[in-house]
Amino acid sequence: MKKILVGNWKMNLVSLEAESFFASMPINREITIGIAAPATLLRGLRDHADRLGILLGAQNMHENKAGPYTGEISAAHLLDAGADFVILGHSERRVLFHETNDQVEKKVESAVVEGLSFVLCVGETREQDEEGVGDEVVTHQIRSALSSLTEPNLKGAMVAYEPVWAIGAGQPATADQIEEKHQLIRDELIKLFGEEGKNVPILYGGSVNADNLEEILQIPNVDGALVGGASLDPQTFNEMIEITGESS
């Protein structure tokens, strides 16, 4: 499997900044690159993404296809705007916008029905980690979010382990912590989907930067990285593309 580097821009960058970012990005076919941009930028970035051969993603969507949900955007809208994938269940959605496992499950189902790939984010909070229930939380998040899927729907599915306490913290989880949780996720995917569960990429996210990426990519069952803050600077991100390429 090619190593994967996905930037999650969160609520940052406007179109001029995004276009100059894409203009400076190198073409690299050794790895899979994705950028999850604000939904308003997707259409404008589509041609650039095609030229670079990268995946374009959104960061959230509503679980229903259409209807009276003022301000919301569905999988159909994201596809229409040019998205290849969507991030679902990011902890900022869960914590700040009270998104539940039930909603995440519905979103996963809707993305699959519409033909939109997804990155499912899972991860425990600091409190859950301290209470010793981190494994349980992550296992439950995986099981509930993917409960409606069968093996053929797994194409294009990715999971990202993002411990909530490591996001934006400047310090990622330790190699041991990452290895342990990625193994747990891999075991769960195999329980759910048999052999096919081995082919679902598992990304690590949480304070990944150009200095720690190489070490993180060496950890067993780490197929790539989901990068927040460090994905906003084109030079840094380009450096991370190079590092990911060298780790492949």
162 binds ligand 13P per the rule CB under 6 A: yes
Residues in the chain, total = 248
Give CA–CA dist 148/226, Å, rounded.
24
227 binds ligand 13P per the rule CB under 6 A: yes
Tell me, what amino acid is at 168?
G
In degrees, rounded to 5, the angle at the alpha carbon of residue 214 between the alpha carbons of residues 10 and 194 is: 75
What is the nearest approach in angstroms of ligand 13P to the Cβ of residue 239?
A: 15
What is the nearest approach in angstroms of ligand 13P to the Cβ of residue 157?
A: 16
Instruction: Find, among 101, 60, 104, 103, the residue nearest to 83 by Cα.
Output: 60
184-223 mask for ligand 13P (x: CB under 6 A)?
---------------------xxxx---------------
Q: Could you confirm whether 90 is annotated as catalytic? A: yes
CB 80 within 8 A of CB 46: no
163 binds ligand 13P per the rule CB under 6 A: no
Under rule CB under 6 A, how many of the chain's residues touch ligand 13P? Answer: 14
What is the nearest approach in angstroms of ligand 13P to the Cβ of residue 67?
A: 28
Q: Which of 26, 53, 115, 168 binds ligand 13P (CB under 6 A)?
A: 168
In degrees, rounded to 5, the angle at the alpha carbon of residue 46 between the alpha carbons of residues 156 and 168 is: 65
2-31 mask for ligand 13P (x: CB under 6 A)?
------x-----------------------
Give CA–CA dist 220/227, Å, rounded.
19
Alpha-helical runs (H) found in the chain: 15-23, 42-52, 75-81, 91-96, 101-114, 126-130, 134-146, 175-193, 213-217, 234-246
Spot the catalytic one: 62, 63, 77, 90.
90
What is the nearest approach in angstroms of ligand 13P to the Cβ of residue 132?
A: 24
Q: What is the DSSP string of 160-190?
A: EE--GGGTTSSSPPPHHHHHHHHHHHHHHHH
Q: Could you confirm whether 131 is annotated as catalytic? A: no
Identify the bridge partners of residue 35 per DSSP, sorted by sequence position: 7, 56
The residue at minimum Cβ distance from ligand 13P is: 228
66-105 mask for ligand 13P (x: CB under 6 A)?
------------------------x---------------
Q: Which residues are designated catalytic?
A: 90, 162
- By the criterion CB under 6 A, which residues form the site for ligand 13P? 8, 90, 162, 167-168, 205-208, 226-230
